[in-house]
Structure 1
Amino acid sequence: MIGKTLGKYRIIENLGSGGTAEVYKAYQPGLDRHVAIKVLHPFLADEKDFLTRFQREARVVATLRHPNIVQVYDFDFDAEDNAYYMVMECVDGPSLKTRLQDMAQEDQRLPLEETIRVVTAVANALDYAHQHGMVHRDVKPANIMFAQDEQIILTDFGIAKMLNVTGLTASGAMVGTPAYMAPEQGMGQAGDERADVYSLGVVLYELVTGHLPFDADTPLGVVLKHINAPLPPPTTLNPNLSPSIEAVITRALAKDPNNRYQTANEFASDLERAMAGQPIEPISPEPTVVAATSEAMTVGPPSATPTPPATSVVRPGRGYVAMLAVALVLILLGCAALLATGTLDRLSRALFPQAGTPTPDVIGTPTPNEAVATQIVA
């Protein structure tokens, strides 16, 4: 693609590859500016349902106008290369992930005041997106950018979901990045605004402690800990953290969506109050495992007040072990079916793209050695 022209844009550099698209830096001569272009992988362009969803969601994302959200300029199709592509603002600053990595090498953390500024800006961006019917579903440091003027920019709505549209998101899908994935996402639910609140809560936890709340040898192990394991208190890793800040984190990371902040704006407001030294009421301890029903994830129009979801507590026992056994059998049968139909090869290309040149932090594209966003469609 390097040197080719897609519409009005001349491709000049490959920035990396994700699960659904190849990302390029391009030049737009008419406006004398550089842009970032996401080109859908060819095999996805042949998936009618996926393409319909992608086109419709791209149009909605392009309507978002917020100082903390990356601007989407265009979405088009190039017949010569059979390529669907999205054109976005090119953010030249580093990602939050890169900044954290650089600071970790010097055994430093982001100052608390800067942490609050970053998280509040992202919360404001999410609240705006939610009000316009969009859920991001992949909030993480790699998708939070610093512009040259230090403005915080939330990028990559590539797997975003429209709140008020049904029938376009595959059921049984697990979407997100395991380290930042809300429990309901890990259980195959689409997730609503509160899933984004949870993911941003993980980012806040990481910023103030220097560690992710859950770690494991495999991505699946991390997902299961988000679902099952109690949250390690942030103050065990950072004793200087105030009880109010810890209370905000604990509520944002509640396993039951009903116990979390119901909006990103509530999250940001409490965080600012906590930073000002005001007391924040902590939430009550939760059961170890909370399984959200399908009704819990049902979402109405963006303006509607979220309906308290029905939840049930799942307690480990023989029935729990039996369910795990059945799940393993279904997984094995599913893999056999995928092998027989050749779908597994296409799926593996989407989930585990070939490692290439390390991806610069331009629009938050994951680098080859980063766990990429997972999108498994059952």
Structure 2
Amino acid sequence: MSITIGDQIGDYEVTGTLGVGGMGQVYRVRHTISHRVEALKVLASGRPVTEEIVGRFLREIQLLASLHHPNITALHTAFRHEGELIMIMEFVEGLTLGAKLNASPLMLGTSLNYIQQVLAGLAYAHERKIIHRDVKPSNIMIGNNDQVKLLDFGLAIPALGPEFTRTGTILGSLHYMSPEQVLGEQIDARSDVYSVGVTLYQLVTGRLPFDGPSEYSIANGHLKSEPINPTTINSDLPVRLSEIVLKSLAKSPADRFQTAKDFLGALGTLRSGETTTLVISSHPDRMRNGHPDAEVGFGSSRPEKAVFESSMLEVIVRDLAYHLGPIAKIVVSRAAKRALTLDDLYEMVAAEIGPEERRKTFLAIRRKSSVPK
């Protein structure tokens, strides 16, 4: 649906644009009867809309309708307009945590306050068997009163739903994915715990725990590398806090905090005098080519991406796995969301293969294969 400022959608007048998420675009609207300012979310225009995406958007509406917590953005209503689903949510005046970090360093006490509110919201959702799956700074809104709101439940799943038990599906933001997400394995609340751990690591050190020049190196970091001890980067941090952060980032879910409530309780053991440190200034969402999870402004244009058959992607994963191992699945999955053509897709995934000779070998297999161009 194409929306411009001044349009009227039902009883709502569009007054501004707020951003673009993974599958939706969000506008500021005013209810023409109550005059209340709210946020309107609709599936993004100019992108392929599949049955899966529509289903995911509907699921987000239904999950949010079941959640009522001060640290989760509230759903006000939902309806259909010209055949398209519309979601109306509370409007939060403020900045995302990512934007705040880019603007200025934060006091440690402030950072911990934000994370504690995130964990409180997640604990509530987890108790209702809902897993967020995409916790990151750009999905954490900080209101002008410093109240935290968890945003974008577009990837959230009910823990007993069909997608919960289906392995092989890789969704989320690479820098914040748990190892089990990277491998496309079954996940539970401990995956969200890991993502919060990545965010907390950024807050207290000013850098990501796992980064690199390629998606392969980032994914491999989640699977095999140990993060640098936070106190090595910022010696003013309490040792106990460093231990808490590292526990949240354990490779095995069994070694992490088992619940968001446990994580929250551990942070509560820190003494108030230990939380006055000024956190190192950072740009936490930045990677080699801009911001990996930044929202795209409405004024920008996006060429329409290709839609690839799953059987075709399976062939590419199989060939790429010879060079990258199980991480091939996530590399192909993410590249397929950006590629305009099959040639683009092959070039993108081939770039993740380190040695040039092996890269040429992979591309040569494509030329010999039956995969159509």
Question: Normalising by structure 2, what TM-score?
Answer: 0.70
Matches within 5 A, 1:128-147: 128-147=124-143
- Percent identity reads 35
Partner of 2:349: none
Taking only aligned residues, the RMSD between alpha carbons, in angstroms, comes to 3.4
In structure 2, the partner of 1:237 is 233
Structure 1 pair 50–145 and aligned structure 2 pair: CA distance change class (3 A): closer
**Do the aligned residues in 2 keep the contact of 1:43 with 1:346 (CA within 8 Å)?**
no
Kindly provide the amino acid, as one letter, of the partner of residue 18 in structure 2: L
Is the alpha carbon distance of 1:206 and 1:100 closer, same or farther for their aligned partners in structure 2, counting shifts above 3 Å?
same
Alignment match, 2:145: 149
Could you tell me which residue of structure 2 aligns to residue 193 of structure 1?
189
- Displacement of 1:56 after TM fit? 3.2
CA distance in 2: counterparts of 1:168 and 1:237, whole angstroms: 37
Q: Is the 8 A contact 2:16 2:27 kept in 1?
A: yes
The CA distance in 2 between the partners of 1:334 and 1:181, in whole Å, is: 11
For the pair 1:114 / 2:110, whether they are aligned, the reply is yes
CA distance in 2, matches of 1:199, 1:48: 28
> Does residue 28 of structure 2 align to residue 25 of structure 1?
yes
Structure 1 residue 244: Cα displacement: 1.0
Aligned pair count reads 295
In structure 1, what is the equivalent of residue 91 of structure 2? Answer: 90
2:174 to 168, 173, 178: 178
1: CA distance, partners of 2:113 / 2:331: 45
In the alignment, structure 1 residue 99 sits paired with structure 2 residue 95:
no
* Aligned 8 A contact 2:118 2:149 in 1: yes
One-letter amino acid matched to 1:150: D
Query: Partner letter of residue 97 of structure 1?
Result: G
Q: 1:11 aligns with which of 10, 14, 24?
A: 14
1:14 CA drift (Å):
2.5
Alignment check: 8 A CA contact 1:205 1:213 kept? yes
Residue 61 of structure 1 aligns with an amino acid whose one-letter code is L
Match of 1:30, SS state, is: coil
Shift of 1:170: 6.4
Q: Given the superposition, is the C-alpha separation of residues 259 and 333 from structure 1 closer, same or farther in structure 2, using an over 3 Å criterion?
A: closer
Q: 1:55 is matched with which residue?
A: 58
Deviation at 1:44, TM superposition (A): 7.4
Cross-structure match for 2:369: none
Unmatched runs of 5 consecutive residues or more in structure 2: 275-317, 343-373
Aligned residue among 218, 221, 237 for 1:222: 218
Larger CA deviation: 39-48 vs 88-97: 39-48
Q: 1:327 to 1:189 in 2, by over 3 A?
A: farther
CA distance 1:192–1:233, change in 2 (3 Å): same
User: Using the alignment, how far apart are the partners of 2:326 and 2:147 within structure 1?
Assistant: 47
1:297 corresponds in structure 2 to: none
Tell me if the contact between 2:136 and 2:199 (Cα under 8 Å) persists in the aligned partners: yes
Which secondary structure does the structure 2 equivalent of 1:36 belong to?
A: strand
- 1:324 CA displacement: 6.6
Kept in 2, the 8 Å contact 1:139–1:196? The answer is yes
1:252 is aligned to 248
Matched residue of 2:193: which SS? Answer: helix
SS in 1 for 2:270: helix
Is residue 17–residue 28 contact of structure 2 (8 Å, CA) maintained in 1? yes
Change (3 A) 1:156 1:77: same
* Deviation sequence 1:147-197 (CA, Å, 0-9, x none): 122212221212111112125886422211111111111111352111111
SS in 2 for 1:176: coil
Question: Equivalent residue for 1:213?
Answer: 209
CA shift, 1:329, in A, is 9.9
Q: Does 1:34 align with 2:30?
A: no
C-alpha distance in 1 between matches for 2:325 and 2:72:
42
Residue 305 of structure 1 aligns with which residue? Answer: none
Q: CA deviation at 1:200?
A: 0.7
Distance in 1 (alpha carbons) for counterparts of 2:252 and 2:213:
25
Tell me the residue number matched to 1:326: 322
C-alpha distance in 2 between matches for 1:126 and 1:334: 25
